[in-house]
Amino acid sequence: MKFGVNSLIWTAGFDAGHLSLLPQVKKMGFDGIEIARFDFAGFPAAAIREALDENGLECTFCSALTGSMSMVSEEASVRREARDFLRRGIETAGELGAKVFMGPFCAPVGQLFGRRRTEDEWKRAVEGLQSLGDALEASDVTLTLEPLNRFETYFLNTAADGARLCDDVAHPKIGVAFDTFHGNIEEKNLGGAIRALGRHLRHVHACENDRGVPGSGHVEWREVGAALRETGYDGWVVIESFGSNIPEIAAAACIWRDLAPSSEAIAADGVKFLRKQLADS
Ligand code: LER
Ligand code: MN
């Protein structure tokens, strides 16, 4: 397993101005940083890749469908916009040297219609994701689809549905990202969810139940560690939390209070805990 930290702890739009964070991330004991971007135009991927190399860090890449962008809309033009966005994200991940591009990539975060998903929407997700296969091969990137809790999406809420979607898409570079914050809300137990994902599990967001310091809440880390080891998971485990003092992030993630003494504590104390807990127990 490799350990990373998501840049949303510090900023809503990681760019060349944030490279001074990298030595700190390395010193805290991370193998890499997960860079989050919600637009890709003008993103200095080559300069960031060079700085990562200089600091002995790797990276993963993260984004989300937002606004009205959707892979499952009945409007072909809306689906096209979402596909183009994801293609640009995949290419950007490739330019960064990231092997994983993760996020909620079927329906936009926060879009709820007051009903459950339909079979037609599922089919459109499958076809849309399949159409990204050539871009994933060309950039040597794996797309990992993140189920979110019911308050953030109606489309993909559980690990079991994530696994079924991957079975239907049937592309070797498309898998599931499991986030323990969402799993803590939606799954019967986290270990069972991880075991049910099996080979489809390609990325992990290690988050406490309140998005505070991993290890400070009631997520069953012992169970998570046991399941990850049992399934032979050897991918990234990334701490994801959100800076409460960054207005656009606080608003998007509904962070209305401080979750820890500092952002650094979530990262630095979290990685110490996770390295021990997930490797040893
Ligand atoms: C993104 O990784 C995530 O977990 C979401 O809750 C963001 O809305
Ligand atoms: Mn997440």
What's the CATH number where 239 sits? 3.20.20.150
68: how many CB neighbours lie within 10 A of its CB? 12
Threshold 0.85, pTM exceeds: yes
Q: How does strand 100-103 pair with strand 58-62?
A: parallel
Q: Kindly give the distance from the C-alpha atom of residue 181 to the centroid of ligand 2, in angstroms, as a whole number.
A: 7
Which domain covers residue 169, as residue numbers? 2-280
Identify the pLDDT of residue 280: 63
46: how many CB neighbours lie within 10 A of its CB? 11
Give the span between the Cα atoms of 136 and 268, in whole angstroms: 33
Task: Give one DSSP letter per residue of 197-213, joined into a string.
Answer: HGGGEEEEEE--TTSSS
Which residues have CB less than 5 Å away from ligand 2 (the ion)? 179, 205, 240
DSSP structural state of residue 61:
E
Selecting among 34, 58, 146, 152, the annotated active-site residue is: 146
Residues with CB under 6 A from ligand 1: 103, 109, 146, 148, 152, 179, 205, 240, 253
Per-residue pLDDT of the chain (281 residues; tens, 9 = 90+): 999 999 999 999 999 999 999 999 999 999 999 999 999 999 999 999 999 999 999 999 999 999 999 999 999 999 999 999 999 999 999 999 999 999 999 999 999 999 999 999 999 999 999 999 999 999 999 999 999 999 999 999 999 999 999 999 999 999 999 999 999 999 999 999 999 999 999 999 999 999 999 999 999 999 999 999 999 999 999 999 998 888 888 888 899 999 999 988 999 999 999 999 997 64
Pocket test for ligand 1, best of 109, 210, 241 (most atoms within 8 A of CB): 109
220 is catalytic: no
**Residue nearest atom 7 in ligand 1 by C-alpha distance:** 253
208 is catalytic: no
Domain count, the chain: 1
Give the span between the Cα atoms of 86 and 101, in whole angstroms: 9
Instruction: Name the residue with tokens 């880390």.
Output: 221
Identify the pLDDT of residue 247: 87
